[in-house]
Amino acid sequence: MLVLLALTDGTARWGELRRSVAGISEKMLASTLRTLEADGIVSRTAYPEVPPRVEYALTERGVELMERMMPLMEWIAANADDIVGRPA
C-alpha cells in the first residue's frame, strides 16, 4: 500500500520509491513492484540510457484502485489514535 501511495503523485524512480517507503528493503521493494506490475497496477518503463533509468507509474487500473482506497486511507489516518489507543 505504501508503494501505491508513493505513486499517487505521479511517476517515480527506484530511489524515490525507496526513500518514500521508509524501512523497506531493496528485495521487498523489487518483489512488490514485480507483483504490482504483473497485476496490471503499476507500469515499469526502462529507458536505454547510461546510466539506466527506470520509472514506475500507476496504470489506469492502479489509478482506479487508489481512487477507491484513498477514502479508506483518510479514514484510517483520522481514526488511528482511537484505534491504536483502544485496549484489546
- CATH number, position 11: 1.10.10.10
Domain count, the chain: 1
What integer pLDDT is reported at residue 85 of this predicted model? 72
What integer pLDDT is reported at residue 31 of this predicted model? 96
User: How far is residue 81's CA from residue 4's CA, in Å, rounded to a whole number?
Assistant: 23
Ranges of the chain with pLDDT below 70: 86-88
What integer pLDDT is reported at residue 88 of this predicted model? 57
Domain around 35:
2-85
Sign of CA dihedral 25, 27, 31, 37: positive
- The string of pLDDT tens digits covering residues 52-76 is 899 999 999 999 999 999 999 899 8
